[in-house]
Amino acid sequence: MSGFNDTLKKRRSIRRYTHQLVPLELVKELLQAAAYAPSAHNAQPWRFLVLIGQEQKDALAKAMAEVWLSELESDHIPTSTCWSTAKASAERFTAAPALILACLTMEDMDVYSDEERQKNERDLAVQSLGAAIQNILIEAHVQGLGACWYCAPIFCKSAVRGVLKIPEKVSRKR
């Protein structure tokens, strides 16, 4: 079995983190690994935001929790369950020494006049972003870092965009 297959089999999603800071050079190596991912048209339709400061992480977690609480309550989930679920999620985001937020951009993707092909183009961009995220997770494992792909921000895009002041051209549809 190759070393790469061993790496793939040993990589795990880690949800509890130490308080040890992640050196900026190591974060750069993770982002460099993302750049080596294949992408449709070699467009690299990804943008990454790195959050290290506690204030930003706290603000992001709070905004996301507010949206999630509202959605859970509208699903008629018991209030105590809503609060404990949102609290656990927020703690994961605030306890991590670094967060890398993966964003999608259609800036350099092809533009089509019909809706169907344009939807397909967006699907290609999403697949490309997924490959980049996978590279980050594998590199994090190789570097001895615990990492986890959290999908929660996709359920509260407006809140995330507002807190982090993400430009409209990132994550927009054409």
Residue-wise pLDDT for 65-90, tens only, equals 999 889 988 999 888 888 888 888 88
Q: What percent of the chain has pLDDT above 70?
A: 97
Sign of CA dihedral 161, 162, 166, 172: positive
d(CA 92, CA 2): 33
The pLDDT assigned to 142 comes to 96
Between 124 and 17, the more confident residue is: 124
Q: Where are the domains positioned within the chain?
A: 3-54+99-164
pLDDT digits (tens, 9 = 90+) for 27-36: 999 999 999 9
DSSP letter at 103 equals: E
Domain 3-54+99-164 is classified in which CATH homologous superfamily? NADH Oxidase (3.40.109.10)
d(CA 62, CA 122): 29
The pLDDT assigned to 172 comes to 52
Q: Angle 54-74/157-164 helices, nearest 10 degrees?
A: 160
pLDDT digits (tens, 9 = 90+) for 113-146: 999 999 999 999 999 999 999 999 999 999 999 9
Tokens of 59: 């603000």
The pLDDT assigned to 81 comes to 87
Q: Considering only CA atoms, which of 113, 99, 119 is closest in space to residue 163?
A: 99
Q: Is the pTM of this model over 0.85?
A: yes
49 and 133 in contact (C-beta within 8 Å)? Answer: no
68 and 127 in contact (C-beta within 8 Å)? Answer: no
